[in-house]
Structure 1
Amino acid sequence: MQPHPNVQAVQDALDAARAHDAAGRACQVKVLTEPVHTAAAAAAALGIEVGQIANSLIFNADGEALLVLTSGAHRVDTGKVAALLGKDKVKRAEAEFVRLNTGQVIGGVSPLGHPRPLRTLVDVALGQYGEVWAAGGIPQAVFPITFAELVRVTGGTAADVA
């Protein structure tokens, strides 16, 4: 069976970046039997701590798309992020803004595989885990990766976002 185009785009981006997981293996997108729209659902399906889920959240930062990869254990402090970036306002993006900037839908937004690079912040709280899991382009796809690799492959900046 042919993978979903979004899953293939994410896998292609992982392969191009030569991304690896905590065991040093090439990152592979895994398609689960059921969609996991929340960090809690993804953690339960994978048998891991909710904090190990790297939520990919798109924000509208004064009209610019911003990707914040945050630990599933807490929420993004938009005021803190706005101050960090020197923006007037950072707010959660609407579904169409997310789709336009990522080619993916809310609940399955991956850290990579987008039509163009996005400014990215990676939650430093994810660094406490040897391995984290991120969405693979659709709500039932995920992949394992290390914090350092996540920062590297996204071209992101490690930041305190909560």
Structure 2
Amino acid sequence: MDRRRAMSDLPARSQQIQQLLAEHGVPGQIRVLPESSHTAAQAAAALGTDVGAIASSLVFLADDRPLLVMTSGAHRVDTAMLGLELGQEITQAAPNHVKQVTGQPIGGVSPIGHPEPLRTIVDSSLQAYDELWAAGGTPNTVFPISYADLLRITGGTPMRVAPA
């Protein structure tokens, strides 16, 4: 299947993400999964990969300002630990706020393609994997990416976000 045809088969939001990936020089292609990959476990099962290789995009509020945390699907973000590291109060953003600041639904938030750039933290435990999978803008689209490329395209700060 040629690339143009493959792009036209993607949801509109994912087409935008794929274009941004290409502009950033990221070689991975967005893949449409047959079922929702709303959770890291669902995405890992569909891809046949370790849940830790799923780079989940979670939106928090850091002193009431949006903060995107790219975390490994193998654990939950420790907001108290993250707050101490950042020197800010960290709370989970409400679903409607996530959609507002990212333009994407929970379970499908991509690391890029938001209306405005988001301050981003990238879980340092993700560097243990050669290939990561991140959401492509919808709950059933994903794309492969390296840890180095994830840091580069998000302008993210590497940081541990959960206890070892």
Q: Structure 1-normalised TM-score?
A: 0.92
Tell me the matched-pair count. 155
**Percent identical residues:** 53
Within the candidate set 4, 8, 11, 1:4 is matched to 11
- CA RMSD, aligned part only? 1.0
Q: Which amino acid aligns with 2:20?
A: A
2-structure distance, mates of 1:124, 1:63: 24
Which structure is richer in relative contact order (CA contacts within 8 A, separation 6 or more)? Answer: 1
2-structure distance, mates of 1:9, 1:86: 34
- Point out where structure 2 has 5 or more consecutive residues left out of the alignment: 1-7
Q: Which amino acid aligns with 1:5?
A: A
Kindly provide the CA deviation profile for residues 78-136 of structure 1, in whole angstroms up to 9, marking residues without a partner as x: 0111122221x211110111011000010101111111110000001100011010000
Q: Which amino acid aligns with 1:138?
A: T
- Point out where structure 1 has 5 or more consecutive residues left out of the alignment: 20-25
1-structure distance, mates of 2:22, 2:84: 34
Q: Structure 2-normalised TM-score?
A: 0.91
Trace 1:53-132 onto structure 2 (pairs within 5 A).
Answer: 53-87=54-88, 89-132=89-132
Query: Contact 2:10 / 2:32 at 8 angstroms: preserved in 1?
Result: no
2:22 match = 15
